[in-house]
C-alpha cells in the first residue's frame, strides 16, 4: 500500500467536493489523465468511468468505479486495467487551518511483474502521491477566494 498526506488550507467540504469529482482529476494529475462518466445519473457508489492517460511512456486505459462515499470524510474508487485492480482513496479530516487530506492506493490484484516489486513500488507511488497532493493544494488554495 502507498500513502501520502498533506494539510490543505480549505474546508473538508471544499476538498471533498473537488476530489470526489473524478473528471476534475485531470486538473492535477501528472499523467495526462482524462476521466469520462460511463453510467448515467449522479455520481455515487456504483458509478463507472472510463479513464485514459499516459504513464511510464504508455497509454493506459482503465475502468473506474466509485465504491465508497462518505461526504467530507472519505471517497474511494477502484481502477481495473492491464496492471491489475487498485483501490484508490481520499480521506479528509479537519486540521489546523484546513483539511488533512490522505491519498492512498492499495493493490487488490497485481499483474506480473509489478507484484514482485512491492516495497519499491509503494515507495515510488507514495512519492508520486505527495506530488499529487502538492498540485491539489496549489489548485485549491489558489482559488479559495
Phi, psi of 115 (to 5 degrees): -60, -35
pTM across the whole model:
0.89
The pLDDT tens digits of the residues spanning 22-48 come to 999 999 987 778 999 999 988 899 999
Answer whether residue 140 shows pLDDT above 80: yes
Answer whether residue 131 shows pLDDT above 90: yes
- CB count within 10 Å of CB 129 equals 20
Arithmetic mean of pLDDT, 109-123: 65
Predicted local confidence at residue 59, as pLDDT: 83
Separation CA 78–CA 71 (nearest Å): 18
Separation CA 137–CA 97 (nearest Å): 13
Between 18 and 1, where is the model more confident? Answer: 18
Predicted local confidence at residue 41, as pLDDT: 85
Q: Kindly report the average pLDDT of the chain as a whole number.
A: 89
Q: Pull the grid cell for residue 84.
A: 491489475
The pLDDT tens digits of the residues spanning 41-79 come to 888 999 999 999 876 677 889 999 999 999 999 999 999
- Domain 2-142 classification at class level: alpha beta
Every domain of the chain and the residues it spans: 2-142
Amino acid at each position: 500500500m502507498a500513502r501520502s498526506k498533506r494539510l490543505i488550507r480549505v474546508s473538508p467540504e471544499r476538498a471533498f467536493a473537488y476530489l470526489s469529482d473524478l473528471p476534475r482529476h485531470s486538473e492535477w494529475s501528472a499523467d495526462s489523465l482524462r476521466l469520462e462518466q460511463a453510467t448515467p445519473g449522479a455520481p455515487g457508489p456504483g458509478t463507472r468511468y472510463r479513464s485514459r492517460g499516459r504513464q511510464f511512456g504508455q497509454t493506459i486505459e482503465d475502468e473506474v468505479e466509485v465504491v465508497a462515499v462518505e461526504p467530507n470524510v472519505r471517497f474511494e474508487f477502484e481502477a481495473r486495467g492491464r496492471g491489475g485492480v487498485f483501490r484508490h482513496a481520499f480521506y479528509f479530516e479537519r486540521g489546523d487551518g484546513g483539511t488533512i487530506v490522505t491519498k492512498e492506493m492499495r493493490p487488490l490484484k497485481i499483474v506480473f511483474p509489478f507484484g514482485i516489486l512491492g516495497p519499491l513500488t509503494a515507495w515510488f507511488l507514495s512519492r508520486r502521491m505527495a506530488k499529487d497532493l502538492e498540485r491539489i493544494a496549489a489548485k485549491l488554495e489558489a482559488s479559495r477566494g
